[in-house]
């Protein structure tokens, strides 16, 4: 299958090394199919939050995979879905604009779920992306027996024209390196686009807000996950060193939700705070003082002004 690379310059013809490649990839798929987990597995570190709540991802976060032969920048998109709220519409247009700006797209379909209308909808959208190669990824293969993986590979290959099709488990790590190889193969030749070994270009403050949101999402149900937004107001090292002060606000949409996230005598909020602090300390490499408050921003998901304030740009 591999096409021999045509030497484009005399210099390359002499060198045995393959050319360095760099560029952007993104993953699309229904919500909850494992896009963020796969990006974290590729990067080798947690740069995107994950949860078992659909539509966890709200921003295009970049994970950077540094290799000797390539730099692969993974843009994490929110799941494509039929928008129900203004927030949903913004997420959808964010996902769509990302698709046209990357060098390769990974279309994720979980091994354990039958291919459905949501997948067909996305496959049709992707068919219109004529100039961008799409690699189909059958995710979460650890959840089903090999026979079911094989059947899903067939079902997914019937969904469209894919440049490649790869089964992968981000949790067991099986074939994560193959996914990286296949994506890299579709990148243009070029020098690294980001310096150093940084795993992401997401501002640290944003990552911290996402880690708090991830802790807050754990164990909440129904509409509540979509109603939670977190903003870090202030983050600074405390003079004297070794400690970072973080002031953050968790927004919910209604007073009843505020009571739920705070819990009896503040117990739930305290748990969320200490869980978030553990991850933030690992991220920053310092001890952390976290001041976390809860405020109601009435129906923020439907209010353009509030959405802007919470960082969801038009
Ligand atoms: N067993 C197993 N579970 C996985 C795997 N990948 C992801 N998951 C789980 O599936 C759930 C959703 O994963 P995410 O990575 O948040 O999915 P996503 O597609 O980014 O979700 P959205 O942000 O909603 O679009 C989480 O509970 C993950 O732990 C995998 O390879 N194996």
Establish whether 31 is an annotated binding residue.
yes
Lowest-pLDDT range of 2-6, 129-133, 215-219, 296-300: 2-6
Residues with Cβ within 8 Å of 155's Cβ and at least 6 positions away in sequence, in order, are 114, 115
Q: Which atom of ligand 1 is nearest to the CA of 49?
A: 16
38 Cα–ligand 1 center, Å: 8
Question: Which pLDDT band, with edges at 50, 70 and 90, does 181 fall under?
Answer: very high
Residue nearest to atom 3 of ligand 1 (CA): 140
> Highest-confidence range of 8-12, 147-151, 279-283, by mean pLDDT?
147-151
**β-strands 243-252, 287-296 pairing:** parallel
**β-strands 70-76, 21-28 pairing:** parallel
**β-strands 287-296, 134-139 pairing:** unpaired
- pLDDT > 90 in the chain, percent: 36
CB-CB contact of 109 with 138 (8 Å): yes
Ligand 1 neighbours (beta carbon < 6 A) = 29, 31-37, 50-52, 54-57, 78-79, 139-140, 142-143, 169-171
Domain edges within the chain:
10-185, 204-309
CA-angle at 76, arms to 247 and 2, nearest 5°: 150
Instruction: For the domain covering 10-185, report its CATH number.
Output: 3.40.50.300
10 Cα–ligand 1 center, Å: 46
Q: Which CATH class is domain 204-309?
A: alpha beta
Residue nearest to atom 6 of ligand 1 (CA): 34
Question: Which pLDDT band, with edges at 50, 70 and 90, does 10 fall under?
Answer: very low
CA–CA gap between residue 18 and residue 225 (Å, rounded): 46
Tell me, what's the pLDDT at 122? 86
Give me the chain's average pLDDT, please: 81
Residues with Cβ within 8 Å of 21's Cβ and at least 6 positions away in sequence, in order, are 69, 70, 71, 184, 185, 187, 188, 189, 190
59-84: per-residue pLDDT in tens?
Answer: 454 678 888 899 898 876 655 555 55
Establish whether 29 is an annotated binding residue.
yes
pLDDT score of 118 more than 80: yes
CA–CA gap between residue 262 and residue 258 (Å, rounded): 6
Residue nearest to atom 25 of ligand 1 (CA): 31
Question: Which pLDDT band, with edges at 50, 70 and 90, does 9 fall under?
Answer: very low
32 Cα–ligand 1 center, Å: 5
pLDDT, mean of residues 192-197? 68
Helical ranges in the chain per DSSP H: 10-14, 35-43, 86-101, 117-127, 146-157, 176-185, 204-217, 224-227, 255-262, 267-284, 304-309
Residues with Cβ within 8 Å of 124's Cβ and at least 6 positions away in sequence, in order, are none
């Amino acid at each position: 299958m591999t096409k021999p690379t045509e030497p484009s310059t005399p210099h390359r013809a002499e060198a045995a090394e393959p050319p360095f490649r760099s560029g952007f990839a993104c993953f699309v798929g229904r919500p909850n199919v494992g896009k963020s987990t796969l990006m974290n597995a590729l990067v080798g570190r947690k740069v995107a939050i994950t949860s078992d709540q659909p539509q966890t991802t709200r921003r295009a976060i970049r994970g950077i995979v540094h290799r000797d032969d390539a730099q692969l920048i993974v843009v994490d998109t929110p799941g494509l879905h039929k928008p129900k709220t203004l927030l949903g519409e913004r997420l959808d247009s964010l996902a769509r604009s990302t698709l046209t700006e990357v060098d390769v797209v990974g279309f994720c379909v979980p091994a354990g779920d039958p291919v459905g209308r949501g997948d067909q909808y996305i496959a049709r959208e992707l068919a219109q992306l004529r100039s961008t190669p799409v690699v189909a990824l059958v995710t979460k293969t650890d959840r089903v027996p090999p026979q079911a993986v094989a059947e899903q590979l067939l079902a997914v290959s019937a969904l469209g024209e894919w440049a490649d099709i790869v089964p992968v488990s981000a949790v067991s790590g099986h074939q994560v390196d193959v996914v990286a190889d296949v994506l890299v193969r579709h990148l243009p030749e070029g020098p690294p686009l980001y310096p150093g070994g940084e795993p992401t270009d997401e501002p640290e403050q944003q990552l911290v807000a996402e880690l708090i949101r991830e802790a807050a999402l754990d164990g909440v149900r129904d509409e509540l996950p979509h109603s939670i937004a977190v903003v870090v107001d202030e983050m600074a090292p405390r003079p004297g060193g070794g400690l970072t002060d973080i002031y953050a606000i968790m927004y919910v949409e209604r007073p009843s939700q505020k009571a739920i996230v705070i819990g009896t005598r503040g117990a739930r909020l305290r748990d969320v705070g200490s869980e978030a602090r553990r991850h933030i300390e690992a991220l920053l490499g310092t001890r952390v003082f976290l001041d976390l408050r809860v405020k109601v921003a009435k129906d923020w998901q439907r209010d353009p002004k509030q959405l802007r304030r919470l960082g969801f740009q038009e």
